[in-house]
Chain A
Amino acid sequence: MTLPRLCPMTLPLLSVNDLSVQVATPTGPKVVVERLSFDLLPGKTLCLAGESGSGKSMTALSLMQLLPKPTARIADGSAILDGDDILALPEARMRQVRGRKIGMIFQEPMTSLNPVMTVGAQLVGAITAHGSRGRRASHARAVELLDQVQIPEPERRLGQYPHELSGGLRQRIVIAMALAQNPRILIADEPTTALDVTVQAQILALIRKLQADHGISVIMITHDMGVVAEMADEVLVMKHGRTVEHATTKDLFARPEDAYTKELLSAVPRLGEMAGSEIPKRAAGRAVAGSSSDAEQPMLEVKNLTVRFDIKGGILQRPVKRLHAVEGISFDVLKGETLSLVGESGCGKSTTGKALLNLLPWAGEIRVNGRSTRGLRGSTMRPILRDVQMIFQDPYASLDPRMRVGDLVAEPLAIHGLATGSALRDRVEYLLKRVGLSPEQMKRYPHEFSGGQRQRICIARALSLSPKLIVADESVAALDVSIQAQVLDLLQDIQDETGISYLFISHDMAVVEQISHRVAVMYMGRFVEMGTRRQIFENPQHPYTKKLMAAVPVADPTRPRRDFVPKAEDLPSPVRPLDYTPSFPPASDLGGGHLVWNV
């Protein structure tokens, strides 16, 4: 393969040659990165793109010599930075490289900050890591750094602890710490994966601005082709530790050569690709109960659903504040229909889903198939649960790791006493086959399956009771794009076959566009806009809906990159004082069931 040179005259800042990384497994050493080579040019961004297990994070860790020892080791290769091979430097000299020459940002901003130290103390620690400065000088530098990463009120933030800050602010602080020593290379390992789309857009713009201001080179690791298009000058696509394609961003998106790259690009749902169509992507031409439907009874009716949590504090553990998670929302889900709740973290969408299954206390009115669920618990709730089931976000966390898959799928049937003996066994086999798994896998444990297979197991469990409504809470968010597409297809096929209804909860506008009949946009526990898929995506009215759509990274490098917004604020907090009474502005009806609330 010939590696394209962007500009043959520029000397590379970092030159990686034939990097191989091995990991020890019970069955012997396994190569996770194989003969990886690339050059990083000054001031440019290189994206390492690939799905989970492609070896992209291992590459980043080996450049910092931070591989988890002794399980993983660098087997071969060199990485030349300023004439030194940083893969072979002894630990003492490597410490001079970390932070000073190469800064690193990790995926999860909460776990990469120390929860018991103030932001200021951690930042000063990063500033003085290589030789002390005066107290006042390091404090001034800390304020300067926070200002650079566009944190409002930097002086006040220095005294705060990480848990007091929003996810976006935390990630900005992590970036400030990485920049503390003025490194020339910044390695960003999935820096925005844990963040909301609007915050992601801000952070990406911030990284681009810092790069332009300080002339830093960036190695960006991501699974998201939208982020790649947004950030990269050059892209290196990885699969199972091997480079499958290395090209400039423009070339890669315009003329992908490798089959895997093509597959990856086509699996990315693109916002707006469904324009003009009334029904979801794979829905059969069957007449669907839309908003204009007749007097047919809805599968689910929700009126004025309100969920509030008291936040207790003080010595007496009295309520001191109140979290208004969901505030008076009303909606129906019809038979065979998919209603999507879309919004960012903390908007109340998952809380709504849990309230439908009585997993938390709520107020208002919920009717499933005509039956009110208010006050039902335990055995009285059980008949309702036969009609409404749930699929959770993280398929591994929602399966008991100590049970065999066959028992896990059989369990709902056993709980409800629906089948025993060979009938139970046949039903489990049928369900596993239905979701695309083989019945021979019944004896295995969840950890022996891949992420996508585990989500199929969760779907089989939810389907086992033949429910009429499934609440899918971020059910594809934790999956790789190609797997995500398969699981979405499976959900839609089941809908076509059985006429099941979905309440699809997601933060991902592109996924929502593919699967929904109708969409409700949530913000701070309220609906701000609700309508058919077409109404929302082709004619968004509320400013928040527009902002949400504009923030989605688009896998198209020719699209102009988003502007940098100085001192952009994150989402406001839904925590209010105890005496707060919400007001309910009426919805304006734009016709055809398209409602907009002026919240």
Chain B
Amino acid sequence: MLARLLRRPLAIIGFAIIVVVVSAAALAPWIVPYDPHEQFFEGLTIEGAPLPPNSQFWLGTDLVGRDLLSRLIYGARTSLIIGVVANGIAVLIGSLVGIAAGYFRGWVDTVLMRFTDLMMAFPALLLAIVLAAIFTPSLWIVAMVIAMVNWVQIARVVYTETRSIAERDFVTAERALGAGAGRILFRHILPHLLSTIIVWATLGIATTVLLEATLSFLGIGVQPPIPSWGNIIFENQTYFTSAPWLVFIPGAAILALALAFNLVGDALRDVLDPTQQGRH
């Protein structure tokens, strides 16, 4: 399967970006040019404005004179953990709720989906603030909070899709053979949901990283001075007109990561579908 995956050029690009980001995050203490928390005197101009990219600070400095490249590399740690863990949990909860409600119908459907509707109607940010206020913010708490907020859309989409797949003849045929619910759900319905789940999971990475940034901005996310890609943008956005690189560079990093997961996700979806083989 990996061999088939790597025959797709776009998948290779996506894969490469993910590898770069993951290894940068893992090797951060050894590869960063400077301490990400150190405020350099020479990192600011005489007027106290941040420096654009130059030979000493490759990606420039932020408004208190810290090296942007070092902060970006350390920020990759936070953002990856949030993006992968928080999003992963959200996808897991959302898929389980959606698939159970969609297949079992009846009271299971009513209870799960009305709860989902309730969560949907509740402003996500408000909920995150309440949750974050109850628990002391830490990286893992923030990841949990984001997962609690983000599973709702996935549940809704998976629910609708499950309902339509459960109506298909081959599911009836399985029931006619005496197959139990577990077998039907996980061996027959879940593989058909994979493409939807993968698309939502990859899209979710970008939204999750940004939601973390919003929470950081409100002071209930990852606590400063720990950098994350989202809070780098938010710390510096007021200087957008005079120092645009402070927003564009971390923005591009988020975009590249989301795109990379998307490309790999797309390829994965095609590779997993036997009816698509031989086509691109």
Chain A contacts to B: CB under 8 angstroms: 26, 354, 357, 359, 378-379, 381-382, 385-386, 389-390, 392-394, 397-404, 411-412, 415-416, 445, 447, 458, 461, 465
Tell me whether A411 and B170 are in contact in the complex, defined as CB-CB below 8 angstroms, given that A26-B279, A402-B191 are known contacts. no
Given contacts A398-B169, A447-B275, contact A415 B176 (CB under 8 A): no
Assuming the A-B contacts A392-B169, A392-B172, A445-B275, are A400 and B177 also in contact, with contact meaning beta carbons closer than 8 angstroms in the complex?
A: no
Interface string of B128-171 (1 = CB under 8 A from A): 00000000000000000000000000000000000000001110
Residue in contact with B180 in the complex, picked from A26, A379, A401, CB distance below 8 Å: A379
B residues apposed to A, CB below 8 Å: 168-170, 172-181, 183, 187-188, 191-192, 273-275, 278-279
Specify which chain A residues have a CB less than 8 angstroms from the CB of B175 in the assembled complex.
357, 359
Residues of A within 8 A of B169 (CB): 392-394, 397-398
CB distance from B71 to the nearest CB of A (A): 45
In the complex, the answer to whether B178 meets A26 with C-beta atoms within 8 Å is no
Known: A385-B177, A398-B169. 15 other contacts (CB 8 A): A389-B176, A389-B177, A390-B173, A392-B172, A393-B169, A400-B170, A400-B174, A400-B188, A401-B170, A403-B187, A403-B188, A411-B174, A411-B179, A415-B180, A447-B275
A-B contact pairs, 24 of them (CB 8 A): A26-B278, A359-B172, A378-B180, A379-B180, A381-B178, A385-B178, A390-B173, A392-B172, A392-B173, A394-B169, A397-B170, A399-B170, A400-B174, A400-B188, A401-B170, A401-B274, A401-B275, A402-B191, A402-B192, A402-B273, A404-B274, A412-B177, A412-B178, A415-B179
By a CB distance below 8 angstroms, the chain A residues around B179 are 411, 415
Asked whether, in the complex, the Cβ of B176 is within 8 Å of the Cβ of A390, the reply is: yes
Given A392-B169, A397-B170, do A357 and B274 touch, yes or no (CB 8 Å)? Answer: no
A461 (CB) vs chain B CBs: closest residue: B177
Give Cα distance in the complex from A440 to B180, angstroms: 29
Chain B contacts for A394, CB-based, 8 A? 169
Residues on the B chain within 8 Å of A378, using CB = 180-181
Complex Cα gap A445–B178 (Å)? 22
Q: Looking across the interface, which residue of chain B has its beta carbon closest to that of A394?
A: B169
Chain B positions within 8 Å of A398 at CB level: 169-170, 172-173
Query: Once bound together, how far apart are the Cα atoms of A137 and B220, in whole Å?
Result: 69
Instruction: Give the Cβ gap from A359 to chain B, nearest Cβ, in Å.
Output: 6
Q: Which residue of A lies closest to B175 (CB)?
A: A359
CA distance A354 to B187 in the complex (A): 23
How far does the Cβ of B76 sit from chain A's closest Cβ, in whole Å? 36
* Distance of A26 Cα from B277 Cα, bound (Å): 10
Q: How many angstroms from the CA of A307 to the CA of B267 in the assembled complex?
A: 46
Contact check, B177 vs A411: say whether CB atoms are below 8 A apart: yes
Give the top 5 A-B pairs by smallest Cβ distance, nearest first. A397-B169, A385-B178, A398-B173, A398-B169, A382-B178
Do residues A357 and B180 form an inter-chain contact, with CB atoms below 8 A?
no
Residues in B with CB closer than 8 Å to A393 are 169
Question: B278 contacts which chain A residues (CB < 8 A)?
Answer: 26
Contact of B178 among A354, A392, A416 (CB under 8 A): A416
Name the residue on A nearest B181 (C-beta): A378
Residues in B with CB closer than 8 Å to A381 are: 178
> In the complex, what residues of B have CB within 8 A of residue A412's CB?
177-178
Residue of A nearest to B280 (CB): A26
Question: Which single residue of chain A is at the shortest CB-CB distance from B171?
Answer: A400
* Residue in contact with A415 in the complex, picked from B178, B192, B274, CB distance below 8 Å: B178
Q: Which one of A382, A397, A416, A447 contacts B168 once the chains associate, using CB atoms below 8 Å? A: A397
User: How far in angstroms is the closest Cβ of chain B from A377?
Assistant: 10
Instruction: Tell me, in angstroms, the Cα distance from A394 to B173 when the chains sit together.
Output: 11
C-alpha spacing A219/B216, complex, angstroms: 70
User: How close is B265's CB to chain A, nearest CB, in angstroms?
Assistant: 18
Whole-angstrom CA separation of A416 from B174 in the bound complex: 12
Query: Once bound together, how far apart are the Cα atoms of A411 and B170, in whole Å?
Result: 13
**What's the Cα separation between A412 and B274 when bound, in Å?**
22
Contacting residues, chain B, for A359 (C-beta < 8 A): 172, 175-176
Residues of A close to B279: CB separation below 8 A: 26
Q: How far is the CA of A386 from the CA of B242 in the complex (A)?
A: 76
**Residue of B172, B177, B183, B274 ringed by the most chain A CB atoms within 10 A:** B177
Cα–Cα, bound, A392→B187 (Å): 20
Which residues on A sit within 8 Å (CB–CB) of B191? 400, 402
Between B176, B187, B192, B273, the greatest number of chain A beta carbons within 10 A of the residue's beta carbon is seen for B176
A211 → chain B closest CB, angstroms? 38
| A181-B278 Cα distance, complex, nearest whole Å | 44
Asked if B177 and A415 make an inter-chain contact with CB atoms under 8 angstroms apart, the answer reads: yes
In the assembled complex, the CB of B108 is this many whole angstroms from the nearest CB of chain A, namely 15
A385 touches B176 (CB 8 A): yes
Task: Return B198 CB to nearest CB of chain A, in Å.
Answer: 14
Q: Report the separation of the CA atoms of residues A458 and B170 in the bound assembly, to the nearest whole angstrom.
A: 10
B205 to chain A, nearest CB (A): 26
Residues of the A chain whose Cβ atoms lie less than 8 Å from the Cβ of B174: 400, 411
Chain B residue nearest in CB terms to A382? B178
Contacts of B187 in A (CB 8 A): 403
Task: Please give me the residue from chain A that is nearest to B279 by CB atom.
Answer: A26
Q: How many angstroms from the CA of A541 to the CA of B246 in the assembled complex?
A: 89
**Residue of A390, A399, A402, A458 most packed against chain B (CB within 10 A):** A402
Q: A410 to chain B: closest CB distance in Å?
A: 11
Q: Closest CB-CB distance, B253 to chain A, in whole Å?
A: 36
How far is A585 from B181 in the complex, measured between Cα atoms in Å? Answer: 42
